[in-house]
Structure formats: structure tokens, C-alpha cells
Copies of this chain bind each other. A is one copy, B any other.
């Protein structure tokens, strides 16, 4: 099954430019091994920085740097552990994740 090519001999100019700003922003977040690993781990539930750094084989400050980018993008936010306030537990913002998912799916529709 092959899609049919346009029969016109002339290319169609003036086609509208697709809007992909949200998709490229979301993809930019996922395009890094560490950030993708973070988001994948947070899909299971909250994690603190040292947990994720250990699992990903990265240094704490590096993971922290990437978390800052994810935070600025609104994809995650941090919560202090009530019993052990020295641990910052990160969790995903499900609304933002859903929006990113939708933007990506729109391009790969």
C-alpha cells in the first residue's frame, strides 16, 4: 500500500507553514539521555535527585542542572520530604506532560 503522488506536474507552492513550536520544545527536552531518563523514572512516581543520579549513572549536580531545565519548562516540580527535609522529591506535572504528549503526537499523527 503506497500513497498516491500528486498528478500535477507543478509543485504546489504557497502551502501553509505547520506550527511546530510546542512540539520542538517538548522534543528538545526529551532529546537528552539524562532528561529522558528522569522523565521516564518520574513516570513511576516521585524520586529525589540522588536516586535518579544513581540510577542514571550521572553526577548529582548534572542531574540537578537538567532538572532545572525541566522545571523551567514546567514539566516537573519539587517537594520537600516531610520527614527528611533535606531530600527534594521531584514529581511530574501531569498536565504539562499531557500537553507535551499532544504536541508530539500532532507532528507524528
**Which A residues are closer than 8 A to B by beta carbons?**
2-3, 5-7, 9, 11-18, 20-21, 23-24, 26-33, 36-37, 39-41, 43, 45-48, 50-51, 54-57, 79, 81-84, 87, 89, 91, 97, 100-101, 104-109
Contact = CB atoms under 8 A, between A and B. Distances in A.
A45 B43 CA distance: 34
Contacts of A37: 17-18, 20
Contacts of A108: 30, 39, 43, 97, 100-101, 104
B24 A56 contact: no
Contacts of A91: 2-3
Q: Which of A20, A47, A54 has the most chain B CB within a 10 Å cutoff? A: A20
